[in-house]
Amino acid sequence: MRMSHIYQPVMLRYLLLKTGESTDAEIASQLLQFDEGQIEYYQQITNRMVGKVLQNRGVVVKKGSSYVLPMFDELSNVQIAELVQLCEQKLDSYIKKRGSKIWQHRKSGRMPISGTIRYEVFKRAKFHCELCGVSAEERALEVC
Claim to verify: residue 96 and residue 129 sit in the same structural domain: no
Task: Give the domain extent around 117.
Answer: 110-144
Kindly state whether residues 116 and 96 are assigned to the same domain. no
What is the reported pLDDT for 2?
56
Are both 132 and 80 inside the same structural domain? Answer: no
CB 91 within 8 A of CB 102: no
User: 66-68 and 61-63: which strand pairing?
Assistant: antiparallel
Mean pLDDT of residues grouped by 10 in the chain (144 residues)?
A: 72 93 93 85 89 94 95 95 95 86 68 80 88 80 76
Looking at residue 108, its pLDDT comes to 62
Q: Are residues 51 and 89 located together in one domain of the fold?
A: yes
Q: Which residues of 58-78 are buried (b: 16+ CB within 10 A; e: fewer)?
A: eebeeeeeebeeeeeeeeeee
Amino acid 89: pLDDT:
95
1 falls within a domain: no
**pTM beyond 0.85, yes or no:** no
